[in-house]
Amino acid sequence: MYCLGIESTAHTFGASVVADNGKILSDVRDVYTSAPGSGIHPREAAEHHSEVASRVVAESLEQASVKTSDLSGIAIALGPGLGPCLRVGATVARSLAAYFRVPLAPVNHAIGHIEIGILTTGATDPLVILVSGGHTAIAAFSGGRWRIFGETEDITIGNLYDMFAREINLPSPAGQEIERLSEKSSRFISLPYVVKGNDVSYSGLLTAAIAKLKSGAQLEDVCYSLQEVSCSMLAEAVERSLAYTKKKELLLTGGVAANRVLQKKLRDVAAIHAASFHVVDSPYTGDCGAQIAWTGMLALRARVTVPVSAAIVRPRWRFEDVDIPWRAG
Ligand code: AMP
Ligand code: MG
pLDDT single digits (tens) 292-311: 999 999 999 999 999 999 99
The pLDDT mean for the chain works out to: 97
Residue 38: pLDDT above 90? no
Mean pLDDT of 241-260: 98
- Ligand lying closest to the C-alpha of residue 223: 1
- d(C-alpha 228, C-alpha 161), whole Å: 12
Q: Give the nearest ligand 1 atom to 173 CA.
A: 12
Best of 176, 183, 202, 280 for a ligand 1 pocket test (most atoms within 8 Å of beta carbon): 176
Residue 170: pLDDT above 90? no
Ligand 1 center to 58 CA (angstroms): 27
Mean pLDDT of 192-198: 97
Percent of the chain with pLDDT over 70: 100
Ligand 1 center to 157 CA (angstroms): 9
Residue 86: φ, ψ to 5°: -55, -40
Looking at the DSSP bridge assignments, the partners of residue 139 are: 128, 148
Residue 37: pLDDT above 90? no
Which residues lie near ion ligand 2 (Cβ < 5 Å)? 132, 287
- Which pairing describes strands 136-142 and 145-151: parallel, antiparallel, or unpaired? antiparallel
Identity at 139, one-letter amino acid code: A
Confidence of residue 227 (pLDDT cuts 50, 70, 90): very high
Question: So what's the pLDDT on residue 34?
Answer: 86
pTM for this one?
0.97
Best of 256, 281, 284 for a ligand 1 pocket test (most atoms within 8 Å of beta carbon): 256
- d(C-alpha 137, C-alpha 160), whole Å: 14
Ligand 1 center to 324 CA (angstroms): 26
Question: So what's the pLDDT on residue 39?
Answer: 84
Judge whether 37 and 170 are in contact, CB under 8 Å. Answer: yes
Confidence of residue 172 (pLDDT cuts 50, 70, 90): confident
Query: What is the secondary structure of 129-166 as a DSSP string?
Result: EEESSS-EEEEEEETTEEEEEEEBSSS-HHHHHHHHHH
- Ligand lying closest to the C-alpha of residue 171: 1
- d(C-alpha 287, C-alpha 135), whole Å: 12
Judge whether 107 and 290 are in contact, CB under 8 Å. Answer: no
Question: So what's the pLDDT on residue 10?
Answer: 97
Q: Where are the beta strands (DSSP E) in the chain?
A: 2-7, 12-19, 24-31, 71-79, 104-108, 127-131, 136-142, 145-151, 195-196, 199-200, 249-253, 276-279
Q: Give the nearest ligand 1 atom to 135 CA.
A: 2
Mean pLDDT of 6-33: 97
Mean pLDDT of 272-290: 97
Ligand 1 center to 280 CA (angstroms): 13
Residue 53: φ, ψ to 5°: -50, -55
Question: So what's the pLDDT on residue 95?
Answer: 98
Q: Could you read off the pLDDT of 87-132 as tens digits, one per residue? A: 999 999 999 999 999 999 999 999 999 999 999 999 999 999 999 9
Residue 259: pLDDT above 90? yes
- d(C-alpha 46, C-alpha 257), whole Å: 25
Where does residue 113 fall: left (phi above 0), alpha (psi -120 to 50 degrees), or beta otherwise?
Answer: alpha
Q: Give the nearest ligand 1 atom to 260 CA.
A: 19
Q: Give the nearest ligand 1 atom to 174 CA.
A: 12
Question: So what's the pLDDT on residue 321?
Answer: 98
Q: Give the nearest ligand 1 atom to 172 CA.
A: 12
Q: Give the nearest ligand 1 atom to 254 CA.
A: 3
Mean pLDDT of 154-167: 96
The set of protein residues with a Cβ atom below 6 angstroms from ligand 1 is: 10, 132-134, 158, 161-162, 173-176, 179, 254-256, 258-259, 286-287
Smallest CA separation from ligand 1 atom 5, residue: 255
Mean pLDDT of 5-22: 98
Residue 171: pLDDT above 90? no
Ligand 2 center to 281 CA (angstroms): 14
Confidence of residue 329 (pLDDT cuts 50, 70, 90): confident
